[in-house]
Structure 1
Amino acid sequence: MKICKTAQAGAFESNDVLITVAPNEQGGVQVQLETKRVILKQFGKQIEQVVRDQVAKMGAEDVIIKVQDKGALNYTIRARVQTALERALV
């Protein structure tokens, strides 16, 4: 799956996550996670793994994924990543 343009999904509200995807000119999958320090320390690796798993499941390559988390659960993160990736294809 080749990402053609920048796209977003989600909202920057409580219990949600804003996902922004963009083509990565250097290649590979890059995850940029922004959240509260406490959440980053406790759940940062898990959030990043959920994002990377969804990207791999969809077969996306050469993408930068910016994750602005406000306490979203894993299923919400997966859905937002999927939607943003699908929007970036069109």
Structure 2
Amino acid sequence: MELIKIASAGTLESSDIQIIIEPNENGIVIELESTVKAQFGEQIENVIIETLKELNVLNAKVFANDKGAIDPVIKSRVQTAVYRSANSNDYMWM
């Protein structure tokens, strides 16, 4: 899926994650801020990367500001941001 504009999903509330995604020409780049980065930063980044792969996104810059979100929340926020960025109404919820 090709990203065409900057898009976001999520909030900065406790137990949520804000994802801002934009087109990029150099693969996937993730900038993560998290209140639990020391404990779960690698897992958060893995969920973001796997979700992008599932959606066939090869190039994206992702800004993630995590406030303790669990994996399903991270995945849904990434999916929503990608669909918004691609201007797609073709949702394939899993």
Instruction: Give the alignment's TM-score, normalised by structure 1.
Output: 0.93
Percent identity between the aligned chains?
A: 38
Q: Point out 4+ residue stretches in structure 1 off by more than 2 angstroms.
A: none
Structure 2: any 5+ residue segments left out of the alignment?
88-94
3-state SS of 2:57 partner: coil
Partners of 1:79 and 1:35 lie apart in 2 by: 17
Partners of 2:81 and 2:16 lie apart in 1 by: 14
Partners of 1:86 and 1:60 lie apart in 2 by: 11
> Does 1:21 find its partner at 2:18?
no
Partners of 2:86 and 2:34 lie apart in 1 by: 27
In the alignment, what sits opposite 2:8? Answer: 8
Partners of 2:2 and 2:86 lie apart in 1 by: 7
Q: CA RMSD in A?
A: 0.7
Instruction: Give the alignment's TM-score, normalised by structure 2.
Output: 0.89
Question: Which structure shows the higher helix fraction?
Answer: 1
